[in-house]
């Protein structure tokens, strides 16, 4: 669960600033098309992006509570299922 929590936090960082990957791996020397490919559209930034970020950030307290409980409870499992379904719907 700790690794899952770290993975989500790292993934959120990359989602917030995907151009960072190009800076790290290519030292800022990537082709302009690569930077354009990793740019979000205005519509995504206004509509889907904020919803998606909130849904992904909701996984953090879920995993923290799971770490504190030590196991999945039926309530946590239902919350995780609902959160996963809503996240998939927003991504689609």
User: pLDDT per residue over 17-71, tens digit each?
Assistant: 888 888 888 888 888 898 888 888 888 888 888 998 999 999 999 999 999 998 8
Contacts of 50 (CB under 8 A, 6+ apart): none
| Residue 77 predicted with pLDDT over 90 | yes
What is the number of domains present in the chain? 1
Token pair, residue 6, equals 């770290």
Token pair, residue 37, equals 């490919």
Its domain, for residue 74, covers 2-91
- 38 by DSSP, 3-state: which? coil
Q: Rounded to the nearest 10 degrees, how much is the dihedral formed by the CA atoms of 29, 24, 41, 80? A: 160
Percent of the chain with pLDDT over 90: 35
**pTM above the 0.85 mark?**
no
């Amino acid at each position: 669960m700790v690794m899952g929590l770290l993975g989500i936090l790292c993934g959120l960082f990359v989602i917030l600033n995907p151009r960072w990957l190009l800076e790290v791996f290519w030292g800022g020397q990537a082709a302009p098309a690569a930077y354009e490919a990793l740019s979000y559209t205005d519509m995504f930034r206004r509509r889907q992006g904020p919803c998606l970020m909130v849904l992904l950030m909701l996984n953090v307290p879920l995993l923290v509570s799971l770490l504190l409980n030590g196991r999945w409870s039926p309530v946590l499992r239902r919350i995780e299922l609902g959160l996963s379904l809503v996240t998939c719907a927003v991504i689609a």
